[in-house]
Amino acid sequence: MADFDAADALLDQVNQARANGTPLRVQGGNSKAFLGREVAGEVLDTRVHRGFVSYDPTELVVSVRAGTPLSELLATLDDAGQMLPCEPPSFGEGATVGGMIASGLSGPRRPWSGSVRDFVLGTRVITGHGQHLRFGGEVMKNVAGYDLSRLLAGSFGCLGVLTEVSLKVLPKPRQCLSIRLDIDCPRALTKLAEWGQQPLPISAACHDGNSLYLRLEGGEGSVTAAHQRLGGEPLDSTFWRDLNEHRLSFFDEGLPLWRLSLPNNLGPVELPGEQLIDWAGAQRWLKSDAEHIQIFAQELGGHATCFTHGASDQPFQPLAPTLMRYHRQLKAQFDPQRLFNPGRMYPEL
């Protein structure tokens, strides 16, 4: 499909929904539809609004319309020797840039590089007031409205219709090497905590219950020196893509899949099911049909999200009353008629 600016058409659809009180199911490629609660409403498809607004590789900033395929953005950056360091997963060929921001999901590099919201410089958004507003800018020093843009990351389309986003990008590392070490989980977590205090070029760390997988990135000298120090068997780099896109055998259909975000210094934890450890221990994937997983995660100082559609009537971690009040106030400011993805995250929103 050719690039096309459909912002006026999207704004017209929002204003018609405002006039009729019609809820809108905001979506792009629908590749993240399994996340969150069911949404009833008229579909607002952002894929008609696509294409690059601006991209100057020397400035390390790209501005792109929300309906642009994520694969197209990543390929363009790759051709210029650049990348989105947060490694957002696609979970399908139809994933869009808007869906990437709305879901706020980051890949294996996240603890070392930052999350999706850390690379958002500015946005354009259609609000529930029928206004097409611009927040932030295209440089990190432009602070005005910056936090409002970051709020959209992980909001699952509940605050407005994202039409455009400006993102900070970085050069790809000069050298990349993946290795596998055959050490058990407790020792792996101990070593990762130790290595985290040292200048090692680690950019991904995962334990599958049998082996520790590491990715080393940086200059050729530092990667080679780290490999000589750590040892390990060289590994095909496709492992990280398969992990990020849930293509490893661990993610095969079966029990409900949960994502637990836990303190990174927690160490080994007995979980009620089969687990795969990512982010050097801060993210743990759990396959389980046990009850009260979110309570268990909260007691450990973290939170849990259900990644299997329909397996939980509360897929996102329940919020404390004070936090819920803030969320409801924010929703009321952006979307007073509750038009956008009502109930996607919580019934109250």
Which CATH number characterizes residue 151's domain? 3.30.465.10
Choose one of 171, 195, 225: the last residue of a domain: 171
pLDDT at 145: 43
Is the model more confident about 239 or about 140? 239
134 is in which domain, residue-wise?
A: 7-171
C-alpha 252/C-alpha 247 separation (Å) is 8
35 and 162 fall within a common domain: yes
C-alpha 114/C-alpha 82 separation (Å) is 16
Does residue 317 sit within a domain?
no
C-alpha 15/C-alpha 21 separation (Å) is 10
β-strands 42-45, 24-27 pairing: parallel
Terminal-residue alpha carbon distance, the chain: 34
Q: Which amino acid is at 253?
A: E
Choose one of 138, 171, 204: the last residue of a domain: 171
141 and 194 fall within a common domain: no
List C-alpha distances in Å: 295 to 302, 304, 316, 346: 9, 9, 12, 17
Does residue 338 sit within a domain?
no
Angle at 170 between CA 110 and CA 50, to 5 degrees: 90
Joined together, the tokens standing for residue 225 give 């020196």
How many domains is the chain partitioned into structurally?
A: 2
32 and 134 fall within a common domain: yes
- Mean pLDDT confidence for 193-200: 95
Mean residue pLDDT of the chain comes to 95
pLDDT at 248: 97
163 and 190 fall within a common domain: no
Does residue 327 sit within a domain?
no
**Partner residues linked to 215 by β-bridges:** 178, 204
19 and 160 fall within a common domain: yes
174 secondary structure, DSSP code? S
- Mean pLDDT confidence for 311-336: 96
Which among 263, 267, 326 has a CA at the least distance from the CA of 299? Answer: 263
33 and 105 fall within a common domain: yes
17 and 63 fall within a common domain: yes
Q: What is the phi-psi region of residue 96: left when phi exceeds 0, alpha when psi lies from -120 to 50, beta otherwise? A: beta
Q: With a threshold of 0.85, does the pTM exceed it?
A: yes
Helix (H, G, I), strand (E, B) or coil at 123: strand
C-alpha 148/C-alpha 170 separation (Å) is 23
- Mean pLDDT confidence for 197-217: 97
Does residue 321 sit within a domain?
no
37 and 142 fall within a common domain: yes
Yes or no: say if 319 and 326 are a contact pair by the CB < 8 Å rule: no
206 and 158 fall within a common domain: no
188 and 289 fall within a common domain: yes
Choose one of 269, 288, 306: the last residue of a domain: 306
pLDDT at 136: 83
- Mean pLDDT confidence for 71-80: 98
List C-alpha distances in Å: 269 to 71, 180, 205: 36, 22, 17
Confidence of residue 141 (pLDDT cuts 50, 70, 90): very low
Joined together, the tokens standing for residue 174 give 């000069």
Yes or no: say if 319 and 346 are a contact pair by the CB < 8 Å rule: yes
Confidence of residue 253 (pLDDT cuts 50, 70, 90): confident
156 and 262 fall within a common domain: no
Does residue 2 sit within a domain?
no
pLDDT at 138: 62
Q: Which residues have a Cβ under 8 Å from the Cβ of 322 and sit 6 or more positions away?
A: none
Q: In what order do the strands lie in the sheet with 161-168?
A: 52-56, 61-65, 161-168, 120-126, 132-136
129 and 162 fall within a common domain: yes
Which among 342, 349, 347 has a CA at the least distance from the CA of 26? Answer: 342
- Mean pLDDT confidence for 30-52: 97
Does residue 345 sit within a domain?
no
118 secondary structure, DSSP code? G
Does residue 326 sit within a domain?
no
Does residue 236 sit within a domain?
yes
C-alpha 50/C-alpha 78 separation (Å) is 19
